[in-house]
């Protein structure tokens, strides 16, 4: 059974079916949404159960598409993409559950979400350059409408900025893909990842083009400025998908394309890339510290966390010892998953807070922990996970990245100062919103209901599980990264 | 293995149970603490025979979690478990009226579990993880009464100070793992040369944060915002002890330069924090400053190259300081304050508690045959024998005089006011405190066999060291009892009360510049958005609008391309139900147009709907195009 194909296209087909239905009521739309994303989640579990292989892509599904130019429909997974596929299907399912409350043009909303899921899964599983680019671009459109249609007060501006930023940002990738095609005569990414397609100046030019695209998507300083605006204005599920899934396009591309396809050029530019990672990590942390809007603050911490991923990949290219390279890549990949879970939870929780209070300003709250203990403790746990507390998901990832950095390129470790800054900003947010004297304005704020708990709890459980015993996930990543590090 | 698991998991399991059940938390806590204590006793008995007990669990690739019960770590685990059990017994009485008891006991137990993990850790990752977890648990405990004024700030400060210092442990761990190629602590202790010096200094930095050494002593004073049993646990055998434990465990690796630095920091803290304790106006703050000062004395011993002396003082201090805090908690219970003026005479109201408090205070001052008499002598002897005796010994002696002085003052205040009528009896509190007082009095007797078990041989001090120790202890007590702090300290009184802020303290040196930098980043971001991005959007939108007329053409061309491509796909296309595809595509386009129309209504006019619509149309059509051959 072509599980990869089914998982990829089931959402959009469900969306099309919904459009064809005569009755597109809110209830029906959300039923379709939850059923489809739930089914996709189960299918991706099936893909997981089938497993991956060391040193190659597993479960490859291939159909001739445009043979004349060597483009084919090719999907496959390895230890880099499969964790992200699982993360994607989980976050879309939880987003569908969370969004079940949306009544405004529900059918259109659901179709967009399902289209986004197809695009996201396709991006991670595509093994054909052209196919990858198509999925990559379609996701952009979906998110544009998501923000413009269901966002908050200044959604038009934010949506537009997001769209133009990432659209312009993704054109260089197209050039790089064409370059790789010209160098190899095929769009087969399995050929490209051998890393011998391009060399010398063409490889460096292709790398620069890819780095531009992925730096916008990751996002890295200084092209990160679309992110806070887009996050603040996006609807909650949009923020979760944007941070949890779509930012990973950038880091996934950084490894799959930049690191794997132009390895020598990547190593030559390694110091520069590392510098961008370090600056992003520190800049994101400090910029987050200055925010008084909860959502914006969390958005900036994404810049910080993704900066660590960039650092890890750069170290993998710079380090001489295979052991260190593997540790760096293990950490970078785990960090992608951890960030998706933890930041996903944080955006959900802020969304729930905003649903209740219609404000996101840290100064507008106070003492809520006594009033809404579920919401408060879930936020505290997620916040401490985000600031890298051991026993929670970010610690093993960041530990590996920093360990590799010290033993690969020690100057990069100045970025570790950011863990104190993130601690400060989260503690400030917790103290401002949940501790201290209760603000009477929120005296009858309700705590999380069953549906909301159902959305947040899986993320918290996985956060703890990865923090305490990451073996079930890291072993799969390690299988592939051992090959990539050598 | 099973005893290791019991020692760590019994408190953890009990803590989680207390949080989940939300009833009978005291009983659950006591069962958990008792099981943990049983595990620690079994471990201690097990390693007394001479073989270490180890366990290994998978964590990261090639970096497993290792636990090790050696004579040193098993002893520490026993100390932690004993103090924890007594403090929890006491807390069952102290917290009886608090509605949030399940949360209190749950967090306390999780804290104990994390501390046991730290003590028994056999690799750097586990040590680091536990190290940060106790920071988190203490944040929750200090902030327990989170609705009260000043409490969130105190909790935040404690976590941030210690986390800043934790950077030292992170860096040292990365360095040592990188050099040794393994994360096992015992293997990394073979590191020598410059890396050992750098790692040693980094570990000292980490220890300074946790053990509240100068200049990072401030958070400990403020941490008094938490419930008193929390202070009793944090200050004695756990949180603050972690710093000294780290240095004691890594002492075999530390080269001369690192030892020198440790001695300087310890000596400075012993005196400065001692002065702060003497100047304090609040009993809990007095005890907190005393904690920092006593850990300074332990660091002197490590710096003098005799970590075993530091360990003995750590054990003695654990029993003494927890007993003192528990006593202070009873007085606080009676007078609803820990202000020294308010507490005047509180000791007379409860002579039994006061007697216990006094025994612990005299023990800390170093009177024979109480516990700290022996451990302080070991420290003085170590300082005397060290190459840096010229300045280590005076600092150690000054620290000891100050110990006597502030304990003397505390005893005087508690005894000399007017008694009030006695309050309700406090049986549970008395039991918890009583056991610890008994330990504070008698632990000195086990020090000799303990040394043998640890394979260490302290030089038998002659008469001069005990005489010196006794003299400074008695002198200090006399001074503290007879003279007011203002007379003793003179011009030092005011800065000692403020905690000797240097150049405005860490707030001025670190916090304000960090916030300024944060604001700068924020402004830079706004500038980028305003000037670069929005400027670019306007230009881009204008350029794109010229192409709008051709939008229809693009769409048509694409739909045609769909047709052509389908033909080229031959046999797959043959099976295609043309109607289905057409319906799907036109449905999609219609749908997209509808969406675009809505989007336009929302647009501010900066950009025309056609652009967005066109791109969406292209993308959606392409998506369907990709899927079509497979599904129709």
According to DSSP H, which parts of B226-370 are helical?
228-236, 239-250, 256-279, 283-303, 307-335, 346-349, 351-365
Report yes or no: A221 and A284 within 8 Å, Cβ to Cβ: yes
| Cα B400 to Cα A134: distance, rounded to the nearest angstrom | 75
State the distance between the two ends of chain A, measured CA to CA, in whole angstroms.
33
**Mean predicted confidence (pLDDT) in A390-418:** 92
| Shared domain check, B13 and B77 | yes
**Residue for token pair 């007017």:** B418
| Shared domain check, B216 and B321 | yes
| pLDDT(B552) > 80 | no
Cβ–Cβ gap B518/A164 under 8 Å? no
| Shared domain check, B323 and B215 | yes
Contacts 24+ apart (CB under 8 A), B18-21: B18/B102, B18/B105, B18/B106, B18/B109, B19/B102, B19/B103, B19/B106, B21/B102
How many domains does one find in chain B? Answer: 3
The radius of gyration computed from the CA coordinates of chain A, to the nearest angstrom, equals: 21
Is A428 touching B (CB cutoff 8 A)?
Answer: yes
| Shared domain check, B583 and B477 | no
The radius of gyration computed from the CA coordinates of chain B, to the nearest angstrom, equals: 33
- The pair of structure tokens assigned to B262 is 């440790």
Determine the residue of chain A that is closest to B130 in CA distance: A390
* Number of C-beta neighbours around residue A54 at 10 A: 12
| Cα B277 to Cα B274: distance, rounded to the nearest angstrom | 5
Q: What kind and span of H or E run contains B396?
A: helix B389-416
| Shared domain check, B111 and B61 | yes
Q: What is the pLDDT of residue A46?
A: 95
Residues B41-54 have pLDDT tens digits of: 999 999 887 788 88
Report yes or no: A172 and A209 within 8 Å, Cβ to Cβ: yes
Q: Given pLDDT bands bounded at 50, 70 and 90, which one contains residue B610?
A: very low
Q: What is the pLDDT of residue B604?
A: 42
Handedness of CA B8, B10, B14, B17 (dihedral sign): positive
* Number of C-beta neighbours around residue B195 at 10 A: 18
* Number of C-beta neighbours around residue A331 at 10 A: 31
| Shared domain check, B182 and B56 | yes
State the smallest CA–CA distance between residue B40 and chain A in angstroms. Answer: 23
Q: Return the DSSP state at A445.
A: -
Residues of B in contact with A289 (CB under 8 A): 514-515, 518
| Cα B415 to Cα B476: distance, rounded to the nearest angstrom | 18
| Shared domain check, B377 and B233 | yes
What is the torsion angle, in degrees rounded to the nearest 10, for the CA atoms of residue B321, residue B323, residue B324 and residue B329? Answer: 130
Is A475 touching B (CB cutoff 8 A)?
Answer: yes
Residues of A in contact with B139 (CB under 8 A): 427
Q: What is the pLDDT of residue B626?
A: 55
Mode of pairing for the β-strands spanning B63-69 and B53-60: antiparallel
Rounded to 5 degrees, φ, ψ at B24 are 45, 45
Cβ–Cβ gap A389/B133 under 8 Å? yes
Cβ–Cβ gap A9/B627 under 8 Å? yes
- The pair of structure tokens assigned to B63 is 């970096």
The secondary structure of A216-285 as a DSSP string is HHTT-TTS-THHHHHHHHS-HHHHHHIIIIIHHHHHHHIIIIIIHHSHHHHHHTHHHHHHHHHHHHHHHH
Report yes or no: B129 and B116 within 8 Å, Cβ to Cβ: no
CB environment B569-599: b (16+ within 10 A), e (fewer): beeebeebeeeebeebbeebbebbeebbebb
Cis, bond preceding B196 (omega within 30 deg of 0): no
Q: Return the DSSP state at B423.
A: -
Cβ–Cβ gap A131/B59 under 8 Å? no
| pLDDT(B247) > 70 | yes
Residues A197-226 have pLDDT tens digits of: 888 899 999 999 999 999 999 888 888 888
CB environment B458-488: b (16+ within 10 A), e (fewer): beebeeebbebbbebbbbbbebbbeeebeeb
| Cα B281 to Cα B138: distance, rounded to the nearest angstrom | 24
Q: What is the pLDDT of residue A273?
A: 94
Rounded to 5 degrees, φ, ψ at A105 are 45, 55
List C-alpha distances in Å: A31 to A12, A24, A97, A472, B351.
Answer: 15, 11, 9, 32, 71
Mean of per-residue pLDDT scores for chain B: 82
Report yes or no: A313 and A328 within 8 Å, Cβ to Cβ: yes
Q: What's the count of helices (H) and strands (E) in chain A, helices before strands?
A: 22, 2
Picking from B181, B533, B568, the nearest residue to A161 by CB comes out as B533
Separation of CA B89 from chain center: 23
| Shared domain check, B424 and B317 | yes
- The pair of structure tokens assigned to A437 is 């004297």
Tell me the ipTM for this assembly: 0.90
List C-alpha distances in Å: B323 to B105, B276, B359, B560.
Answer: 19, 21, 9, 87
- Give the whole-number percent of chain A exceeding pLDDT 90: 63
Rounded (5°) CA angle A313-A58-A93: 75
| pLDDT(B299) > 90 | yes
State the smallest CA–CA distance between residue A97 and chain B in angstroms. Answer: 23
List C-alpha distances in Å: B606 to A1, B535, B539, B544.
Answer: 48, 12, 10, 11
Determine the residue of chain B that is closest to A401 in CA distance: B174
Non-local CB neighbours of B91 within 8 Å, separated by 6+ positions: B26, B29, B104, B105, B108, B227, B229, B432
| pLDDT(B291) > 90 | yes
Non-local CB neighbours of B500 within 8 Å, separated by 6+ positions: B214, B272, B275, B276
| Cα A380 to Cα B316: distance, rounded to the nearest angstrom | 36
Q: What three-state secondary structure class fits A51? A: coil
| Shared domain check, B407 and B534 | no
Residues A303-320 have pLDDT tens digits of: 999 999 999 999 999 998
Determine the residue of chain B that is closest to A406 in CA distance: B174
List C-alpha distances in Å: B211 to B81, B135, B288, B383.
Answer: 19, 12, 11, 20
Residues of B in contact with A427 (CB under 8 A): 139, 155-156, 159-160
Q: Which of A140-144, B286-290, B563-567 has the highest mean pLDDT?
A: B286-290
Rounded (5°) CA angle B580-A119-A394: 155
Which of B195-199, B263-267, B301-305, B537-541 has the least mean pLDDT?
A: B537-541
Domain housing B613? 547-631
Cβ–Cβ gap A16/B521 under 8 Å? no
| pLDDT(B128) > 80 | yes
Interface of A with B in 321-380 (CB under 8 A): 323, 326-327, 330, 367, 369-370
Size of interface A-B (CB pairs under 8 A): 217
Residues of A in contact with B130 (CB under 8 A): 390
Query: pTM score, two decimals?
Result: 0.88
Handedness of CA A364, A370, A371, A376 (dihedral sign): positive
| Cα B147 to Cα B113: distance, rounded to the nearest angstrom | 26
| Cα A357 to Cα A173: distance, rounded to the nearest angstrom | 42
| Cα B165 to Cα B159: distance, rounded to the nearest angstrom | 10
Report yes or no: A192 and A183 within 8 Å, Cβ to Cβ: no
Q: What is the pLDDT of residue B581?
A: 43
**Residue for token pair 């040794």:** B180
Q: Burial level of A450, CB count in 10 A (0-12/13-18/19+)?
A: exposed
Sorted by where each begins, the domain ranges of chain A are 1-174+226-252, 269-486
**Mean predicted confidence (pLDDT) in A68-97:** 93
| Cα A285 to Cα A300: distance, rounded to the nearest angstrom | 7
* Number of C-beta neighbours around residue B520 at 10 A: 13
Q: What is the pLDDT of residue B49?
A: 79
| Shared domain check, B594 and B522 | no
| Shared domain check, B293 and B366 | yes
| pLDDT(A80) > 90 | yes
Report yes or no: A130 and A192 within 8 Å, Cβ to Cβ: no
Residues A120-129 have pLDDT tens digits of: 999 999 999 9
Rounded (5°) CA angle A389-A250-A2: 100
Picking from B149, B528, B599, the nearest residue to A225 by CB comes out as B528
Determine the residue of chain B that is closest to A11 in CA distance: B627
Report yes or no: A153 and A100 within 8 Å, Cβ to Cβ: no
Q: What three-state secondary structure class fits A71? A: strand
| pLDDT(B632) > 50 | no
List C-alpha distances in Å: B288 to A49, A285, B402.
Answer: 55, 33, 14
Q: What is the pLDDT of residue B618?
A: 58
- B572, HSE (Cβ side, Cα atoms, 13 Å): 19
């Amino acid at each position: 059974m072509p599980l990869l194909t089914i998982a990829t296209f089931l959402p959009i087909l469900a969306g099309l079916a919904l459009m064809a239905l005569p009755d597109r009521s809110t209830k029906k739309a959300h039923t379709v949404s939850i059923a489809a994303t739930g089914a996709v989640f189960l299918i991706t579990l099936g893909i997981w159960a089938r497993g991956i292989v060391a040193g190659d892509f597993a479960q490859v599904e291939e159909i001739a598409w445009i043979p004349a130019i060597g483009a084919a429909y090719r999907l496959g997974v390895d230890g880099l993409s499969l964790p992200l596929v699982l993360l994607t299907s989980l976050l879309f399912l939880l987003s569908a559950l969370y969004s079940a409350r949306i009544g405004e043009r529900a059918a259109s909303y659901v179709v967009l979400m399902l289209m986004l899921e197809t695009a996201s899964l396709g991006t991670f599983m595509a093994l054909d350059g052209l196919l990858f680019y198509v999925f990559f671009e379609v996701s952009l459109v979906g998110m544009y409408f998501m923000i413009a249609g269901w966002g908050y007060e200044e959604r038009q501006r934010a949506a537009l900025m997001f769209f133009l930023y990432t659209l312009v940002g993704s054109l260089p990738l197209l050039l790089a893909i064409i370059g790789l095609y010209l160098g190899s005569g095929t769009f087969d990414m399995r050929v490209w990842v051998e890393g011998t397609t391009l060399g010398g100046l063409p490889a460096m030019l292709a790398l620069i083009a890819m780095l531009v695209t992925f730096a916008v998507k990751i996002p890295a300083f200084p092209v990160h400025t679309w992110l806070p605006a887009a996050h603040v204005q996006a609807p909650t599920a949009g923020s979760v998908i944007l941070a949890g899934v779509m930012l990973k396009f950038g880091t996934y591309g950084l490894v799959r394309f930049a690191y794997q396809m132009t390895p020598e050029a990547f190593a030559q530019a390694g110091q520069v890339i590392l510098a961008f990672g370090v600056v992003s990590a520190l800049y994101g942390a400090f910029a987050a510290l200055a925010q008084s809007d909860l959502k914006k603050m969390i958005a900036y911490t994404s810049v910080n966390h993704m900066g660590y991923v960039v650092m890890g990949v750069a170290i993998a290219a710079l380090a001489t010892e295979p052991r260190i390279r593997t540790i760096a890549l293990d950490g970078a990949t785990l960090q992608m998953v951890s960030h998706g879970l933890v930041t996903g939870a944080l955006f959900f929780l802020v969304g729930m807070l905003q649903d209740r209070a219609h404000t996101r300003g840290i100064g507008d709250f106070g003492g809520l922990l006594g009033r809404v203990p579920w919401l408060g403790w879930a936020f505290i746990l997620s916040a401490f996970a985000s600031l890298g507390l051991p026993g929670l998901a970010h610690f093993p990832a960041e530990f590996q990245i920093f360990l590799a950095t010290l033993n690969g390129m020690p100057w990069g470790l100045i970025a570790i100062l950011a863990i104190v800054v993130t601690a400060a900003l989260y503690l400030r947010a917790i103290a401002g919103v949940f501790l201290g004297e209760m603000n009477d304005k929120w005296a009858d704020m309700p705590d999380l209901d069953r549906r909301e708990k159902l959305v947040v709890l899986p993320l918290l459980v996985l956060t703890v599980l990865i923090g305490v015993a990451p073996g079930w996930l890291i072993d799969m990543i390690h299988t592939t990264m051992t090959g990539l590090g050598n | 293995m099973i005893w290791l698991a019991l020692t760590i998991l019994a408190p953890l399991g009990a803590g989680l149970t207390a949080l989940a059940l939300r009833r009978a938390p005291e009983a659950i806590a006591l069962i958990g603490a008792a099981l943990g204590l049983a595990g620690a006793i079994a471990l201690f008995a097990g390693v007394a025979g001479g073989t270490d007990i180890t366990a290994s669990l998978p964590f990261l690739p090639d970096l497993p979690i290792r636990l090790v019960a050696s004579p040193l770590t098993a002893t520490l685990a026993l100390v932690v478990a004993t103090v924890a059990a007594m403090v929890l017994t006491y807390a069952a009485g102290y917290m009886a009226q608090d509605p949030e008891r399940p949360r209190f006991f749950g967090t306390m137990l999780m804290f104990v579990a994390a501390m046991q993990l730290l003590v028994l850790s056999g690799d750097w990752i586990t040590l680091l993880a536990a190290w940060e977890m106790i920071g988190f648990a203490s944040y929750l405990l200090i902030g327990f009464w989170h609705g009260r004024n000043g409490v969130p700030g105190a909790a935040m400060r404690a976590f941030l100070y210690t986390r800043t210092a934790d950077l030292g442990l992170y860096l040292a761990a990365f360095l040592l793992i990188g050099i040794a190629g393994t994360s096992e602590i015992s293997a990394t202790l073979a590191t020598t040369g410059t890396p050992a010096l750098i790692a040693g200094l980094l570990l000292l930095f980490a220890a300074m944060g946790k053990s509240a050494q100068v200049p990072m002593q401030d958070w400990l004073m403020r941490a008094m915002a938490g419930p008193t049993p929390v202070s009793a646990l944090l200050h004695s055998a756990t949180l603050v002890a972690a710093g000294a434990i780290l240095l004691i465990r890594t002492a075999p690796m530390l080269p001369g330069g690192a030892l020198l630095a440790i001695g300087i920091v310890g000596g400075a803290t012993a005196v400065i924090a001692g002065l702060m304790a003497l100047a304090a106006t609040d009993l809990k703050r007095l005890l907190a400053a005393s904690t920092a000062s006593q850990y300074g004395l332990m660091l002197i011993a490590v710096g003098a190259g005799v970590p075993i002396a530091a360990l003995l003082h750590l054990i003695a201090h654990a029993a003494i300081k927890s007993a003192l805090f528990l006593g202070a908690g009873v007085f606080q219970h009676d007078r609803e304050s820990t202000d020294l003026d308010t507490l005047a005479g509180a000791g007379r109201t409860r002579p039994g508690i006061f007697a216990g408090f006094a025994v612990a205070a005299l023990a800390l001052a170093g009177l024979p045959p109480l516990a700290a008499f022996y451990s302080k002598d070991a420290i003085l002897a170590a300082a005397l024998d060290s190459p840096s005796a010229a300045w280590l010994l005076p600092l150690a002696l000054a620290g000891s005089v100050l110990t006597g002085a502030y304990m003397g003052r505390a005893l005087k205040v508690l005894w000399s006011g007017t008694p009030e009528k006695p309050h309700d009896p406090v049986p549970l509190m008395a039991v918890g405190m009583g056991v610890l007082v008994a330990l504070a009095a008698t632990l000195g007797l086990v020090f000799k066999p303990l040394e043998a078990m640890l394979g260490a041989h302290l030089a038998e001090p002659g008469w001069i060291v005990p005489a010196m120790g006794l003299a400074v202890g008695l002198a200090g007590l006399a001074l503290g009892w007879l003279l007011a702090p203002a007379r003793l300290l003179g011009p030092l009184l005011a800065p000692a009360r403020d905690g000797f802020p240097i150049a405005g303290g860490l707030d001025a040196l670190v916090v304000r510049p960090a916030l300024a930098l944060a604001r700068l980043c924020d402004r830079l971001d706004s500038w980028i958005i305003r000037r670069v991005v929005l400027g670019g959007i306007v230009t881009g939108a204008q350029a794109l609008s010229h192409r709008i007329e051709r939008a229809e053409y693009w769409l048509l061309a694409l739909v045609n391309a769909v047709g052509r491509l389908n033909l080229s796909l031959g046999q797959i296309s043959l099976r295609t139900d043309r109607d289905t595809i057409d319906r799907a595509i036109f449905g999609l386009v219609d749908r997209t147009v509808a969406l675009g129309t809505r989007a336009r209504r929302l647009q501010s006019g900066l950009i025309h709907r056609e652009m967005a619509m066109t791109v969406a149309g292209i993308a959606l059509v392409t998506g369907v195009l990709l899927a079509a051959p497979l599904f129709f």
